[in-house]
Amino acid sequence: MPINVFVPKFRTDEILEEIKECLEKGWTGLGFKTVEFENHWKQYTGMPNAHFLSSNTAGLHLALNIFKEQNKWADGDEVISTPLTFISTNHAIVYERLTPVFADVDEYLCLDPKSVLKAITPKTRALIFVGIGGNSGQYEEIVKICKEHNIKLILDAAHMAGTKLNGKHIGSDADVVVYSFQAVKNLPSADSGMICFADQQLDNLARKKSWLGISKDTYQRFNKNEGSYKWKYDVESIGFKYHGNSIMASMGLVQLKYLDEDNTYRRKLASLYDKKLENIKNIQIIKVAPNCESSRHLYQICVPNRDEVMQFFYDNGIYPGVHYIDNTEYTVYNYAYGKCPNASLKSKMLLSLPLHLNLTENDLNLIVSTLEKALKNCVKPNESLISDFSK
């Protein structure tokens, strides 16, 4: 059996029951289940607002669209971002004709506050912080910097469903937090996400904008006590078709019940990896920041000769991942190539070991022994990576 980096675990019967309710009611779109999921998510995270969307990518775009419009930012204004992320993060900035300005990452692979300070200019309007793998990195420092410089803080929490910082779900101090419930995330649906604005007025606006700018969604028009379906609405702004639907919300509602239990198992696997890898020379384990209880979406290490090590794994039926290629290596962002040396270096060495709910300790033993063999086969004895890492 191949061992893959991600395998989602669905509670099939329970999910089918929830979906059946939607089908029998004849309501699969935005409506009763999306509202129920939003309420459960607010309760779980402690966020004051939550709006269910079709994806995190949609949410990041919506956040920037709303902030730009509300604060009258100009085309070309700047948003500080990380090169070590899935491209959605940076594409969302470009969708709004804003400019991604890349700052470098720290030992947690998150934005480095020192590098962020250097990237601030009079045109800086926002910063997107990615909690990579569920790690909070130096998030609290970033919050301070954003407050001091009047920069909107967008938390791309695609990996952070369930991450706690100082005992509390992360995100309450950001201007907006955007989650992903994409197919292989910690809370998997098929494709969906959640946007949580701190400001309720912006949440109201997001609800209209995610439904093409229409003043009242179909469910609001249908669900009034007055009885029948009301056909009349206004279109107050140019919006997008970004809202979530009741089938995805049904999946989310069930998966949310198990999120803490699932993340606990992920953390157990991660600490087993920590123990089994601690005496292996020539690798670096990416540590979780102090006071962070990570959702453990990823378990990342750095290895020398990554591509060859990866091939060795593949040849042995094990399929790790890479999170991520430095985005400035991609044609569309290569105007910034070389500006973030740490991200660039790590991107060549990073490897995400398999981490999912079907893995057993025996699987981990096999993965670790395969890694040892790969290092023996692919890395010359005098080849080392650690020295590059103290930067």
The answer to whether the beta carbons of residues 50 and 38 sit under 8 Å apart is yes
Please state the closest distance from residue 88 (CB atom) to ligand PLP, in A.
4
CA distance 133 to 300: 8
Q: Which is nearer to ligand PLP, 135 or 370 (CB)?
A: 135
What whole-number distance in Å separates Cα of residue 268 and Cα of residue 112? 28
Write out the residues near ligand PLP by the rule CB under 6 A. 55-57, 85-86, 88-89, 130, 156, 158-159, 180, 182, 193
For residue 314, what are its two tokens?
């593949």
Report the C-alpha gap between 349 and 85 in whole angstroms. 15
At its nearest, how many Å lie between ligand PLP and the CB of residue 55? Answer: 3
Total number of residues shown for the chain? 391
Instruction: Choose between 191 and 378: whose C-beta lies nearer to ligand PLP.
Output: 191
Alpha carbons 109 and 132: distance in angstroms, whole number: 7
Name which of 156 and 262 has its Cβ closer to ligand PLP: 156
Identify which of 283, 353, 351 has the alpha carbon closest to the alpha carbon of residue 318: 353
d(CA 94, CA 110): 21
- Our CB check for ligand PLP shows the closer of 34 and 370 to be 34
Q: For ligand PLP, give the closer residue by CB, 31 or 193.
A: 193
Tokens 């022994």 -> residue: 369
Quote the least distance from Cβ 334 to ligand PLP, whole Å: 20
Nearest to ligand PLP of 6, 233 (CB atom): 6
Beta carbon of residue 57, minimum distance to ligand PLP (angstroms, whole number): 3
**Least distance CB 56 / ligand PLP (angstroms):** 3
Q: How far is the CB of 179 from ligand PLP (least distance, A)?
A: 8
Residue 49 or 56: the one with the smaller Cβ distance to ligand PLP is 56
Contacts 24+ apart (CB under 8 A), 34-43: 34/243, 34/244, 34/245, 34/246, 34/249, 35/219, 36/249, 36/253, 37/244, 37/249, 37/252, 37/253, 37/256, 38/194, 40/253, 40/256, 41/179, 41/194, 41/196, 41/252, 41/256, 42/196
The nearest distance, CB 92 to ligand PLP, in angstroms, is: 8
Please report how close the Cβ of residue 188 comes to ligand PLP at its closest, in angstroms. 10
* Alpha-carbon distances of 368 from 133, 276, 385, rounded to whole Å: 20, 7, 19
Q: How far is CA 184 from the centre of its chain?
A: 11
- What is the C-alpha to C-alpha distance for residues 375 and 223, in angstroms, rounded to an integer? 62
Closest contact distance (angstroms) between CB of 133 and ligand PLP is 9
Q: Considering beta carbons, is residue 239 or 304 the nearer one to ligand PLP?
A: 239
Closer by beta carbon to ligand PLP, 55 or else 342: 55
Instruction: Tell me the HSE value of 259 on the side-chain side, using a 13 A CA sphere.
Output: 27
